[in-house]
Structure 1
Amino acid sequence: MDNTFLLAFLLIPIFVTEAAVIVGGGVGIGVGGGGVWIGGGGSNSPATTPSSASNGAYTALQTWKSAITDDPLGITSSWVGPNVCSYKGIFCSDSQDYMGNPTGNKIVAAIDLNHASLRGTLVKELSLLTDLSILHLNSNRFSGTVPSSLRELNSLTELDLSNNQFSGPFPTPTLYIPNLLYLDLRFNTFSGPIPDDLFDKKLDAIFLNNNLFEGELPDNLGNSPASVINLANNKLSGTIPFSVSYMGIKEILFLNNQLTGCIPEGVGMWTDLQVLDVSVNSLMGHLPDSLSCLSGIEVLNFAHNKLSGELPDLVCSLRSLVNLTVAANFFSGFSEDCDRLSFRNVGFDFSFNCIPGKGMQRPRPDCSGVPGSGLSCLRIPSANPLVCGTFLGAQRTTTP
């Protein structure tokens, strides 16, 4: 499994970037933007040639500095004078003309103030940073809302506002940043519904976990081209949209919400899926047979729901499986293939179910009335054995 996506599964901030990679505390390498970034407050940072862009950057950063009310690490103490490329946390790159030739000027290409513990707000003048590609503000104490002017950051590809104190409804200005690829809003107190438009954007990574988002999942969730979506630890309700059947996603987390209904049969269409976590919800019914088509799946977590029936034989035969958790449901049995998972060093937790002859199961009275036993979860007719990719008009024809 890709370590990047494993980090996302563990709810640890990650970098997903096509624009640039920040290296160390003061130097970065521009990928596609040209040149070496200069910044981080180093005393040897060369002076920049004055330009209208640098004047705008100076105005933006000085205005923002005035809106920062607490700076325990003294980060902004270096934000003095017109040479913004010498400011701590500010990274510059060589400016180029339309032919790709250097102009002799510097532009602010990235801001990395992760873990700076700054308190304050964002200011509308940040829109003057017209060449900004990366804005990382993870683990600070910024509050308030996202200024509407941020939609003017046409060069921005990564926006990380995680681990702050932002509040209010979903920050709609982020939906209009034209080249944004990475959006991280986790660990704030954003609330209200998730807008449908979010999943029509060309984002590659969407992190909304650990907020107060509520309401039903948008029906167009499956439109998203993202490779990772984390919606965990919110107050989302309703069912998992059937549209997810068409996603090319690698990792999706719904855990700890208030979702109900069935797990869609179409999950077997997620041919690249590596992590699926729907634990701690109120999902009912059986597990769809199409789960057996997830040939690349490594983590399946269905714990703490109201699922029932027998665990499908082919699910336990998945060759890439590393961990399968069905604890705290109402499953009534599983096959010999599931019994052999321990010999394959696969983590398998089936405790607190209704499986006869197994230890650590629910008391018998709890199993007399299975929740959702009358729920009819859609089953797509298929050949026996299931030929993966034949349902819903898929083109994939291999079997696990």
Structure 2
Amino acid sequence: MSNPWRIYATLLLASAIFTPPPSLAMSPSPIFLLLLLLFFLFHGGQSSGFLGFGNGGGLGVWVNGGVGNTAPPPPSGSGDSLAGGEYAALQAFKSAITGDPSGFLASWAGPNVCSYKGVFCSSTEIPFSTRVVSAIDLNKANLQGTLPKDLALLRHLSILHLNGNRFSGPVPDELRQLAYTTELDLSNNRFSGPFPVAVLAMPSLVYLDLRFNAFSGQIPPELFAMALLDAVFLNNNRFEGEIPATLWNSAASVVSLANNKLSGPIPASYAGGSAIRELLLLNNKLSGCIPEALGLLSELEVLDLSFNSLKGRLPPSVSCLGSIEVLNIAHNELSGELPDVVCSLRRLLNLTASYNFFSGYSQGCGKPAGGAWFDFAGNCIPGRGLQRPPPECAAVGGDLSCLDVPSPRPLACGLPFGLGVGISIGGRLSPPSIPIP
């Protein structure tokens, strides 16, 4: 066959003959495009490549690979290219799988990565119009293996869903390069090691689900400083240590830290502006008082503090939870009288205060309105059934650090911590620093 570059030069000459003057030329000559395309089609046995032309309407054809939604084959000698990187990443992922009993990855062969089962592609215009891997959904594929660092080559990956598999080991630090990832779901696997710090370097992350794994160690404070993060599911792991004080700065609307080994007090400082609507801290080893800060979460709809070792009385700021619908404080060591302001919260549908040491409640708590359901079993309330034996109730003393001293001024809901939300003995809460008129 003739030298391809000689043919290419001939085509350029033909283009020059049939190309209109610059004043009329808005795009490459149609005849040139046709000739160039025919050249590649007939010469395709020895070459493959991408033909791309811009100026709005553009032409894009993958030679030797179909038209439109077909990904290019990995170019030889260009592993750093977009196509080669994606192909290499997915093949490395497949190689890291040690168990695939249902044959889920059987289609992961050949250069057309967009045809792989569970792989989804989308179009990009940079550096030229082509298809890139934008999502991987392998939920409940029953795969066993580890995550290779090569996944970081999927630079346009927006969604990575691996829920319900048997992946194990740590999450590679190299995944910090996934700058466009918005959803990361690694739940219901066997991942282990410390919190995957690669997550903290994903600026686009909106949804993070690490629940039902074996991650351990402390939760990094930087997690709750991520600007776009809206949902954080870390429950059912082995995280320990204290809850970061940055929790109240989180932009997330849902935070679940349940069923871990977290200890110490619930963060007390609050500067305002939290967007949390659902907060699940149940079944940890939390101790100390319920801080006033919790009552200042004006958007809070679901709060579950059950199965911890919290003591003392409910803070007066609980009356500020105007959006609360579900409040669960069961199985703690709370005491005193349950205030009427709790039971009269206008949106409250479910109040579970069972198995504490409450000694009574106001009249409003005895008659739930609007179909609400209250549970006071296992307390020390005289005249009510299913309560603790008197000896157990007599053994519980008050905790001075959680004893609120009545403030001479009314509670100011929605103000930052320390601005008229009450005074506490024991140094846990600070007195108001600015007078409330």
TM-score (ref. length: structure 2): 0.76
1:268 is aligned to 295
Is the 8 Å Cα contact of residues 306 and 371 (structure 1) preserved in structure 2? no
Alignment of 1:227 with 2:253, yes or no, is yes
- Pairwise CA RMSD of aligned residues? 2.1
Looking at structure 2, the residues matched to 315 and 198 of structure 1 have their Cα atoms a distance apart, in angstroms, of 31
Looking at structure 2, the residues matched to 94 and 391 of structure 1 have their Cα atoms a distance apart, in angstroms, of 46
Q: How does 1:238-387 map onto structure 2 within 5 Å?
A: 238-244=264-270, 246=272, 247-341=274-368, 343-377=369-403, 381=407, 383-384=409-410, 386-387=411-412
Task: State the 1:222 CA deviation.
Answer: 1.6
Moved more, 243-252 or 110-119: 243-252
Classify 1:154/1:391 alpha carbon distance in 2 versus 1 (closer, same or farther; 3 Å). closer
Is the 8 Å Cα contact of residues 72 and 111 (structure 2) preserved in structure 1? no
> Please, which runs of 5 or more residues in structure 2 have no aligned partner?
1-66, 75-80, 422-437
Task: State the 1:377 CA deviation.
Answer: 4.3
Moved more, 327-336 or 45-54: 45-54
Classify 1:382/1:264 alpha carbon distance in 2 versus 1 (closer, same or farther; 3 Å). farther
Q: How does 1:143-292 map onto structure 2 within 5 Å?
A: 143-202=168-227, 203-244=229-270, 246=272, 247-292=274-319
Please state whether the residue corresponding to 2:269 is helix, strand or coil: helix
Task: State the 1:107 CA deviation.
Answer: 0.6
Is the 8 Å Cα contact of residues 65 and 76 (structure 1) preserved in structure 2? yes
Alignment of 1:87 with 2:116, yes or no, is yes
Q: How does 1:19-98 map onto structure 2 within 5 Å?
A: 46-49=69-72, 52-97=81-126
Looking at structure 1, the residues matched to 386 and 349 of structure 2 have their Cα atoms a distance apart, in angstroms, of 22
Corresponding letter in the other structure for 1:360: L
2:18 is aligned to none
Looking at structure 2, the residues matched to 302 and 210 of structure 1 have their Cα atoms a distance apart, in angstroms, of 19
Task: State the 1:371 CA deviation.
Answer: 4.7
Task: State the 1:388 CA deviation.
Answer: 2.2
Aligned length: 347
Corresponding letter in the other structure for 1:47: T
Task: State the 1:391 CA deviation.
Answer: 6.4
Moved more, 370-379 or 136-145: 370-379
Please state whether the residue corresponding to 1:261 is helix, strand or coil: strand
Looking at structure 2, the residues matched to 251 and 245 of structure 1 have their Cα atoms a distance apart, in angstroms, of 19
Classify 1:135/1:47 alpha carbon distance in 2 versus 1 (closer, same or farther; 3 Å). same
Is the 8 Å Cα contact of residues 264 and 378 (structure 1) preserved in structure 2? no
Classify 1:346/1:389 alpha carbon distance in 2 versus 1 (closer, same or farther; 3 Å). same
Q: Deviations for 1:104-150, whole angstroms, at most 9, x for unmatched residues?
A: 41010101111111000000110100000010111100000111110
Looking at structure 1, the residues matched to 68 and 327 of structure 2 have their Cα atoms a distance apart, in angstroms, of 49
Task: State the 1:263 CA deviation.
Answer: 0.5
Task: State the 1:179 CA deviation.
Answer: 1.6
Looking at structure 1, the residues matched to 406 and 241 of structure 2 have their Cα atoms a distance apart, in angstroms, of 28
Q: Deviations for 1:360-400, whole angstroms, at most 9, x for unmatched residues?
A: 0000111112254444345683634x44235637799xxxx
Moved more, 232-241 or 263-272: 263-272
Corresponding letter in the other structure for 1:193: Q
From 411, 414, 418, the equivalent of 1:389 is: 414
Q: How does 1:113-132 map onto structure 2 within 5 Å?
A: 113-132=138-157
Task: State the 1:189 CA deviation.
Answer: 0.5
Q: Deviations for 1:23-48, whole angstroms, at most 9, x for unmatched residues?
A: xxxxxxxxxxxxxxxxxxxxx99423
Q: How does 1:6-25 map onto structure 2 within 5 Å?
A: none
Looking at structure 2, the residues matched to 365 and 75 of structure 1 have their Cα atoms a distance apart, in angstroms, of 61
TM-score (ref. length: structure 1): 0.82
Q: Deviations for 1:335-372, whole angstroms, at most 9, x for unmatched residues?
A: 1111111x421111000000000000000111112254
Alignment of 1:133 with 2:153, yes or no, is no
Corresponding letter in the other structure for 1:71: D
Larger Rg: 2
Moved more, 285-294 or 243-252: 243-252
Is the 8 Å Cα contact of residues 265 and 288 (structure 2) preserved in structure 1? yes
Determine which structure has greater relative contact order: mean sequence separation of CA pairs < 8 Å that are 6+ residues apart, divided by chain length: 1
Identity of aligned residues (%): 58
Please state whether the residue corresponding to 1:392 is helix, strand or coil: coil
